[in-house]
Amino acid sequence: MDNDTIISPSAEQLRDRLVDDLLADKTVTSPRVEEAFRSVPRHVFAPGAPLEQVYSRDIVVVKRNEQGTPISTVSAPEIQARMLEQAEIGPGMRVLEIGSGGFNAALIAEIVGTTGQVTTVDIDQDVTERARAFLNEAGYERVNVVLADAETGMAEFAPYDRILVTAGAWDIPPAWTDQLAAGGRIVVPLRMRGVTRSLVLERAPGSDADHLVSRSAEVCGFVKMQGAGAHTERLWLLRGEQVGLRFDDGALEEPSLLDGVLASERAAVWSGVVVGRAEPFESLPLWLATSLPGFCALTVDSSAGDPGLAVEAGGRWFPYAVAEGDSFAYLSTRPSGEGRVEFGAHGYGPHAADIAASLAGQVTVWDRDYRRGSGPDFAVWPIDTPAERLATRPDRTAVISKVHRHVTISWPSVDSPH
C-alpha cells in the first residue's frame, strides 16, 4: 500500500478504542464514567502531543521543573478512571478537584451535569491558565478554575460532596474535611512511608465522626503536592549520586554509619515465596512498610552506568529497602522455574545477613497471612487523638504521624477471615 493512501485513525476513533480497552479490563465499570471518557476530547488538553500518545494509557507531561521532573501532567487514563469510579460522583454534585490540568475537571463536569458544580484548584498559574483555556475550548466554561494553594481548601464554593486530589499528598489538611458536605468523600493519593494508595475517605459513622475511614484503596502514582502541603523526603547517598536511601516518614539516626557500606561484604537470604513474573503483589510493599522499622526506598540512577547492586542472574532488585544502624537490605528476586521468581533480600554492612533475613522473613509472613487477602484498613485521625484510640489491633496496626493527622494501617488478625 502506498503511504499516501494510509489514513490515520481520528481522535474520535482513538478515544473510543481507549475506552473500549478500559471497559474490557474493568477499569471503567459505570455508564457515567464511560460516557464522560467518550465525550471529552482528551487531545484538547494536550496540544502538540501526537494523538496516538494522547489516547494511549500513558501520562502526557504538561510542565517540568528546572531539573526536568514532571510537575504537571495529564494523568494516565487508567488512574483517572479508577479515581472517578472510587468517587462515585453523581449528577448535581458539588466537586472540588485539587490539582488542575483541565481534562479530569471536564470528565467530572460531564458526570455532574449542568445542575452540578466543579471547582478545580492549582498553585501554578501556568497550569490554571492552560486549564482555563482548554476547558473553554472544549466547551466546559462552567468549571471554576482557581489559582490558589489548596492546603486551605476552597471555602468560596464549599461544601463539597466530593473532593478529588490529583497530586500526591503526604497529609490531609483540616480544611478538606471542614469543607466536606455531610455524607461526602475525599479521594486522595496518600503517601504512607513512601507507598502511595488512592484512598476513598469518609467520616466514620456515629460518635466516631471525628476521623475518616477508607472504603477502598487503589495503587496509583501522581506528581507530588506543591506549596504548603509539600513534604521533603530525606535522602542519604550511598554511592555518589547514583545509589541512595530515601525516607518519606522517619530518618536514619546516624547516617554516617552507612558510609562505604556498598563496598562491604554482601549477603543474600531467600524467602521460599514464589510468584509468577506477571503476578501482582501490591499488598507486599504496604506490609513491609508497616512491619519493618527503618523501611525506606532504594533509589538508583542507572543512567550513570551499572550501580553495582547485587542481583542473581535473571533476577532483579526492587525499590523497597530497610536500614538499621550500619547495614541495609533491599527486596530482590531470582528465577524459580519457567515464568516464576522467588522473593528474597540482598543486604550490605556488618549485619547484612541479619537485616536481609529480617526483610525476607516479613515476605514470608505476608505470603502466609496477607498475600491472598483484601489488604489492610486505613483511617485518618486528628493529630491530637489519644494513642489508645489509634491502635485497635496493636500487633497488626502501624501508626504514621504527620503534621495534621495520624494515619493508621490495620491488618486483619491472622485468625479472622480475609
Q: Which helix (H) or strand (E) holds 405?
A: strand 405-410
**All residues at 6 or more sequence positions from 174 whose CB lies less than 8 Å from its CB, including other chains:** 382, 404
CB of 93 closer than 8 Å to CB of 161: yes
CB of 122 closer than 8 Å to CB of 99: yes
Question: Can you read off the three cell numbers belonging to residue 128?
Answer: 490554571
Alpha helices in 309-351 (DSSP H): none
CA distance 350 to 354: 9
CA distance 225 to 231: 8
CA distance 304 to 165: 35
CB of 287 closer than 8 Å to CB of 354: no
CA distance 36 to 388: 45
Dihedral class, residue 96 (left if φ above 0, else alpha if ψ from -120 to 50, else beta): beta
**What amino acid positions are annotated as catalytic residues?**
75
Handedness of CA 202, 204, 206, 211 (dihedral sign): negative
CA distance 73 to 282: 24
CB of 192 closer than 8 Å to CB of 409: yes
Dihedral class, residue 342 (left if φ above 0, else alpha if ψ from -120 to 50, else beta): beta
CB of 346 closer than 8 Å to CB of 268: yes
CA distance 320 to 313: 20
Q: Which pairs from 297-304 meet CB under 8 Å and 24+ separation?
A: 297/194, 297/245, 297/246, 297/247, 297/248, 297/321, 298/243, 298/244, 298/245, 298/246, 298/330, 299/235, 299/243, 299/244, 299/245, 299/246, 300/242, 300/243, 301/241, 301/242, 301/243, 304/240, 304/241, 304/242
Single-letter amino acid, residue 232: T
